[in-house]
Copies of this chain bind each other. A is one copy, B any other.
Amino acid sequence: MQPAGRALPVALDAMGGDNAPGEIVAGAVQAVRERGVPVVLVGQPRVLSPALAEHGALAEIPIVRAEEALAMDEGALASLRRPRSSIAIACHLVRRGDASAVVSAGSTAGVVATGRLRLRAQQGVVRPAIAVTLPTRPHPTILLDAGATADAKPEMLVQFAHLGVAYAEVAFGLRRPRVGLLTIGAEPEKGNKIAKRAHELLAATPGIDFAGNVEGHDLLTRKVDVVVTDGFTGNVALKTLEGSVRYAFGQLRETIEESPVARFGGMLQRGRLRALSDRLDPEAHGGAVLLGLNGTVVIAHGSSHARGVSGACELAARLSSQGIVSRIGERIAPKSHRPLMTWGGTR
């Protein structure tokens, strides 16, 4: 489908998200024109063609037909009922080798379920995980699982550590990313049963630079590069973090607007405050990455606008071209394959 030498396009689910298809199409145009990321839109041509025409982009962005879509409030089961949904077709394009990666702003549960069903887990990966990046500097901190697997086993958390390390290496060029386990105290025996067992396992896993337990207040202090937890705790922590930062800024705005003197002070800071609030905006980070499948899947925020969508496309293209899937494969090769390599070796 693609001429040799050109990058494969990102398959963008045009029907998923609170602002679909308008902002999704606008994001596709932005990705192509401003970020140089080729995109195919997957969805209903009769809706998407006019939207693309408005941007004068009909010649730049192909459409792949998918008449069905998963609604934002539909859960995981809907992905079984709708094999021809836009997100399913987008996964199919990756599977077939016609796209490099999938991007969707659709419901997380729907994207995860469809991704697992259509792309399947990589060999050796028991459960995929959603990795998000938290806005630390000089590089972000990776938190996973942020919600793919609510009831995780301790063994899965060890795999999540491998997924997160591969992500940190590929996306941020880190050499030996430090991994922390999210729990409720610094000592190894602090936590619930899952966390305590995961601590033991992580401490005994070669290839993981395990820095021990981290707590909720460590998420934004760069104590570690990768924070591992189960999908329930990770999702609660992520949403608490986002809500708390939003709350702090809201309180600040209120405080500044309460008095004319303070308001004047606020005007003097406006540019810098906007830059800061942009940096902390979840949309700025391109979205969450579903790791562990046979293909790169980026889940943009459900309320994404064009900027968030184009950022997600850029992230997906980058992770895919830098080989995140094979990097994970190297880390989680099934054990039964390892002896073959050892036999052929010199030891």
Interface residues of A (CB under 8 A from B): 73, 75, 109, 147, 150-151, 182-185, 187, 189, 191-193, 195, 215-221, 229-233, 235-249, 251-252, 255-256, 258-259, 261-262, 264-269, 272-273, 275-276, 280
Contacts and interface: CB of A to CB of B under 8 A. Distances in A.
A347 B236 CA distance: 46
A261 B184 CA distance: 41
A150 B218 contact: no
Contacts of A275: 255
A231 to B, nearest CB: 8
A1 to B, nearest CB: 37
Contact of A266 (B150, B220, B239, B269): B269
Contact of A264 (B248, B258, B268): B268
A233 B235 contact: no
Contact of A276 (B184, B193, B251): B251
A252 B273 CA distance: 7
A219 B240 contact: yes
A252 B333 CA distance: 45
A205 to B, nearest CB: 22
A251 B280 contact: yes
User: How many copies of this protein are present in the complex?
Assistant: 2
Contacts of A182: 236
Nearest to A237: B240
B255 A269 contact: yes
A182 B117 CA distance: 29
Given A187-B75, A193-B151, A233-B232, A244 B268 contact: no
B216 A237 contact: yes
Contacts of A247: 220-221, 245
A239 B216 contact: yes
Contacts of A192: 150-151, 230, 232
A147 B247 CA distance: 23
B251 A75 contact: no
Contact of A272 (B229, B246, B256): B256
Contact of A268 (B230, B239, B265): B265
The 8 A-B residue pairs whose C-beta atoms are closest, nearest first, are A216-B239, A217-B243, A265-B268, A216-B240, A244-B244, A248-B248, A265-B265, A184-B235
A147 B272 contact: no
Nearest to A232: B192
Given A249-B248, A266-B269, A268-B261, A217 B191 contact: no
Which of A221, A246, A247, A264 is the most central at the interface, judged by chain B CB atoms within 10 Å of its CB? A247
A184 B216 contact: no
Contacts of A241: 216, 240-241, 243-244
Which of A189, A244, A267 is the most central at the interface, judged by chain B CB atoms within 10 Å of its CB? A244
A255 B236 contact: no
Contacts of A231: 184
Contacts of A255: 269, 272-273, 275-276
A7 to B, nearest CB: 35
B237 A217 contact: no
